[in-house]
Structure 1
């Protein structure tokens, strides 16, 4: 069966694809979708149908992967940017044809293997990495899928993995491809260069009024004022409405007594352990120790170093073996234990340091408790504050009046662009949920009541646009400071280019960098044995591109790393990598292998789609997407 799978992915299409990889390192994409199927089914291929529950599950799993990548709940904008809907549909399309192929081939999976695959899925694991029944039940409830249906879904996924592994297992990028990458990565060059700093042509005098006016007219679009909006907003979170001053001393004292364990640092001990192969060896060592032998001598006789015996400074709960933990915490300091039957064999222990249990005094944690109690009270009041604001708005109060009635602080931004800049083109600081907030602010109308936004970390954001200033052309007087700075920057670049041009001709005519440096009273610099990876750190990104833009003897002018200076450079030496493959990092080699495996997989999927045409149901798709939103 494996041979049959490989055969179907090893035809002319794959050979042509491999040719593209060798010549140009091209990666191809998936095939497009076909349309049409029955109601209630999102898509189908042959006798295989993908249900709306399958779509919801795939979407939820993709969303969980995005959450792990972002380390927070994604906003609608995050999901649109990740193109989650398209990714899910693409995945389900390949799933459908693979399921149909698996059905035709009669592939299956044992119950034990299936149970392990489900338990190992990160989506169903708790913080410790173990299977969480609660997480599993929550996802089943969210997607509206029965457990039996989910298990069937995962069984199909496992079968798909069998097929995919059969197609891609052992596929590696050809040596010729990796050699080409190695030659590219490993090429070394030595570059001599002169740096022409702005100071060589500065100071730049202010231009005449008509010159500046003409420059402004030629670059008017550069100074165009974008649309600005004035917006008021109020943040509702436990932090924004908490009132630490309202917490009494009695409440603080009561919480300290109630939650005292939170402020206790448990006793810790520095423990040493010698583990023996059997009880006889351990008993003999204990007898020797009781007879006056030093612990260090026993360590040496056991074939270990003192460092090998160190368990560290640990609390009792941090020692995983209960027998060892009990014995260690029963020992007096600098005494040796009896033989302890530990999990890894009989052991002898010694405790060399004891840090007693300690409790932080109330005075040290008073502010911490005050803040925590205030937040706890505020968390219980957020719904009440939310309703108070909404009720006030429904009663006809203005945004500011409603916020005041609900006890919320109103902040006002006089002018902000869609890019988050103020009227002076400086970023507006501390924007809440910045991207979604800006998008919402610029898709509403002035003085319109808007639905509050959900903040990524929890809470609500109320907002109202007070005024809209349409985009317009700025006058020269408004933009004069920026126009003058831009003109001087352009003039500096022009004068530097004028100075370098004849020097470049002299260099191309046969003079050396040293001769030009001497005549111009400049210091020659050398970037020795640089590669494409190291060159930007020495001569900047543009300088690196120029340095590798020709063969030995190549001469070029490029911007320096500071963005203002210019470089006149000459390549004096080119060295080819002696061992190209040694210049391909493991990560890059793995990426090349993964790209080729992906190409094999995509080619195979394309062939399956031709064998089992995929039919999509637009109505069912739109319905399930609406439910998810």
Structure 2
């Protein structure tokens, strides 16, 4: 089995423990049965619980990324189950290497690592044994199990450091990559449009359109449609029944006074000093021409560190009067504050703002009425669900309640009306013709129920109904083909010695663009082909339905002394070094596995997976 990843570092392991323990274990439990391991490298076992835990963690992470539950079947179909097992085999191989070399850590180091895990600490930030025990129970560990696993991880980290620590990519390789990535091009381009054609596109015959229709039938096929009847009720539908009187709205206006009556504010940066002499010295430096950013840099800070954002008088305490009396873009101080003498820079003045009740009334009414409507729907929901459970049809629901009836020919592209709600689209996609309507909620507090009447499979639209659409598509296709033929003529002319501009097309010159660079006017495939074309040689490309011709004017080598290039070089060096380190670990783990032997119990692997369906 090819191993792509090996034991996590101690830091990663602790962070992972903090995350998972904070989530209460996500339903993990010990697996019972006669088999205790899914495999082993030498004498280092991969336990059933370790495999189950790793699978569950991967399933949870992928579920969070996708926003929906991931099943074991999906894990298997995408090969993720094998990736998880491969990682555990890699960890076991490195652990076996540590065992054979006698590498381990003492109790003192183990205790230090345990005490540093935040999930095991009490409110005062100290290690608490009861918190520790509870957290391990939530995760499905006993104390000896967790401490043994942490000890193994610490041992693996020592081996990892010895095998791959301090690996640096060769400078010539880093430089070569950097020069390739940072190289630029200058080029001249033109879009070949219909106006550049020497012949007009003739009108199509009926036979040509019929042939095009037949050859491109997918373009003229209606998607699968779900014929759905639904009944729904939203807060907006109850607008006339939930009007709020002015007395109530005025009370709400006063309750939210802070929102509608904003005091005067200042955008402020602050630098605090240890004593008044240091603050005065900084002010003198500022008066001598230094900037506030210079003062921050002297303190080892950035302006982000000094930024207080928008503040009111109450936020500034003793500094309120001088700061709020200062002009914009001025520096105030030194001023004594609770933190010590400080300098303040005023970067903006925000005048006090007050929204009157009359101005705020519509917003207040909208919020209050929407909330009242949601509450009313909440009160109705039990009765609505009981009616559906009792056999009421959607048509009867619309007649006997405030719900409204609707019909939709639903497709995967539907977004109008109720199809604009994710909840409805999910229910519509999952509905079956034999299911009874069930009350479900919408994101705005509304409710709905639906019935799938039938599924209409994808079917071609009749030619007569889409003839104009076919004609437009045929013509667009013919125009692109004609433009490509014209582009070939232009390329041939340029190869004969003329410039691109002399061919009659409207040209644009790009002085410099980087590999993978962005252009507002050109799609990425054009930029990519520019870097594949020799300087001085014309070329053509069709991208996004448009035809382009271009000539690469010059190659601009990377400036290895440029600050941006140096940054890129550093990033490339780090990536290559990490890749080399990972390769070394892979070689080492493979060697240990080969020497010690790998034993996998596929039956137990399958059994663990079957309990996670």
In the TM superposition, what are the counterparts of 1:322-471 in structure 2 within 5 Å? 325=317, 327-328=318-319, 340=336, 342-343=338-339, 345=340, 362-363=357-358, 365-374=360-369, 384-402=379-397, 407-409=402-404, 411-416=406-411, 418=412, 420=413, 431-432=419-420, 434=422, 441-446=428-433, 448-449=435-436, 462-471=449-458
1:74 aligns with 2:70: no
> Secondary structure of the equivalent of 1:466?
strand
Task: Give 1:76 deviation, angstroms.
Answer: 2.8
Unaligned runs of 5+ in 2: 1-5, 8-30, 297-305, 327-331
**8 Å contact kept, 2:44–2:93:** no
**8 Å contact kept, 2:136–2:146:** no
Match of 1:174 among 148, 170, 174: 170
Task: Give 1:484 deviation, angstroms.
Answer: 0.8
Task: Give 1:485 deviation, angstroms.
Answer: 1.4
> Secondary structure of the equivalent of 1:199?
helix
Structure 1 residues 251 and 99: CA distance shift in structure 2, 3 A: farther
Q: For residues 451 and 484 of structure 2, what CA distance do their matches in structure 1 show? A: 51
Match of 1:106 among 97, 104, 107: 104
Q: For residues 286 and 488 of structure 2, what CA distance do their matches in structure 1 show? A: 77
Q: For residues 486 and 352 of structure 2, what CA distance do their matches in structure 1 show? A: 75
In the TM superposition, what are the counterparts of 1:137-152 in structure 2 within 5 Å? 145=140, 152=147
Task: Give 1:207 deviation, angstroms.
Answer: 0.8
Q: For residues 558 and 498 of structure 2, what CA distance do their matches in structure 1 show? A: 27
Residues 164-217 of structure 1, C-alpha deviation per residue, up to 9 Å, x if partnerless? Answer: 455443233333432332332244444445542112337534211122222223
Match of 1:522 among 505, 516, 528: 505
**8 Å contact kept, 2:384–2:439:** no
In the alignment, what sits opposite 1:23?
none
> Secondary structure of the equivalent of 2:453?
strand
Match of 2:284 among 300, 305, 321: 300
In the TM superposition, what are the counterparts of 1:478-497 in structure 2 within 5 Å? 478-497=465-484
**8 Å contact kept, 1:392–1:405:** no
CA RMSD after TM alignment: 5.6
Task: Give 1:528 deviation, angstroms.
Answer: 3.9
> Secondary structure of the equivalent of 2:180?
helix
Residues 250-279 of structure 1, C-alpha deviation per residue, up to 9 Å, x if partnerless? Answer: 544555566666666578678898866557
Match of 1:220 among 200, 212, 217: 217
In the alignment, what sits opposite 2:207?
210
Q: For residues 77 and 553 of structure 1, what CA distance do their matches in structure 2 show? A: 53
Task: Give 1:480 deviation, angstroms.
Answer: 1.4
Q: For residues 54 and 394 of structure 2, what CA distance do their matches in structure 1 show? A: 40
In the alignment, what sits opposite 1:564?
546
Structure 1 residues 475 and 164: CA distance shift in structure 2, 3 A: farther
In the alignment, what sits opposite 1:511?
497
Task: Give 1:521 deviation, angstroms.
Answer: 3.5
Match of 2:576 among 592, 602, 608: 592
Task: Give 1:463 deviation, angstroms.
Answer: 3.5
TM-score by length of 1: 0.65
**8 Å contact kept, 2:242–2:373:** no
> Secondary structure of the equivalent of 2:470?
helix
Task: Give 1:219 deviation, angstroms.
Answer: 2.7
Moved more, 351-360 or 366-375: 351-360
Q: For residues 380 and 448 of structure 1, what CA distance do their matches in structure 2 show? A: 29
Unaligned runs of 5+ in 1: 1-7, 10-35, 286-295, 320-324, 422-426
Residues 19-39 of structure 1, C-alpha deviation per residue, up to 9 Å, x if partnerless? Answer: xxxxxxxxxxxxxxxxx9955
Task: Give 1:622 deviation, angstroms.
Answer: 3.3
> Secondary structure of the equivalent of 2:472?
helix
Task: Give 1:488 deviation, angstroms.
Answer: 0.7
In the alignment, what sits opposite 2:12?
none
1:196 aligns with 2:183: no
Q: For residues 609 and 232 of structure 1, what CA distance do their matches in structure 2 show? A: 61
Structure 1 residues 300 and 43: CA distance shift in structure 2, 3 A: same
Q: For residues 409 and 259 of structure 2, what CA distance do their matches in structure 1 show? A: 46
In the alignment, what sits opposite 2:534?
551
**8 Å contact kept, 1:241–1:408:** no
Q: How many pairs align? A: 545
TM-score by length of 2: 0.67
Q: For residues 518 and 334 of structure 2, what CA distance do their matches in structure 1 show? A: 64
Structure 1 residues 407 and 195: CA distance shift in structure 2, 3 A: same
> Secondary structure of the equivalent of 1:625?
coil
